[in-house]
Amino acid sequence: MTLDEFRRSLDAPAPPAGLSPALLGLWHQGKGDWEAAHETVQADDGADAAWVHAHLHRVEGDEMNAGYWFRRAGKPHTKGDLGEEWAALVEGLLAQGR
């Protein structure tokens, strides 16, 4: 799946089958459902979910909590555009097959 295909899937009522928890969280966030995105990644202990969790707390405006999740993910605390960060996360996770 490409980033464009992932974006097009946001028009569907349900996510594509087989998404990892991290990508599922990003799918919900892309649909504007922060709560569903947060619940999805919070239920997973993996580094990818922690990375998405960090992004979600940036969306929420809670940079301190985001920093905690960036550290858990082993990623640098980003400060850039949230839309660009979302797209980069989707592309990165899709490229890794996660």
Q: How many other CB atoms sit within 10 Å of the CB of residue 53?
A: 25
Is residue 14, in this structure, part of any structural domain at all? no
Computed over every residue of the chain, the mean pLDDT equals 96
pTM greater than 0.75: yes
Residue 98 pLDDT > 80: no
Instruction: Find the CATH number of the domain harbouring 76.
Output: 1.25.40
| Segment 12-24, tens digit of pLDDT | 999 999 999 999 9
Please check whether residue 24 is in contact with residue 42, taking contact to mean a CB–CB distance below 8 angstroms.
no
Is residue 13, in this structure, part of any structural domain at all? no
Domain tally for the chain? 1
Query: Could you please report the per-residue DSSP string of 16-30?
Result: PTT--HHHHHHHHHH
| Segment 56-88, tens digit of pLDDT | 999 999 999 999 999 999 999 999 999 999 999
Is residue 54, in this structure, part of any structural domain at all? yes
How far is CA 9 from each of CA 21, 37, 43, rounded to the nearest angstrom?
Answer: 16, 15, 23
Domain of residue 30 covers 3-8+20-95
Residue 97 pLDDT > 90: no
Is residue 15, in this structure, part of any structural domain at all? no
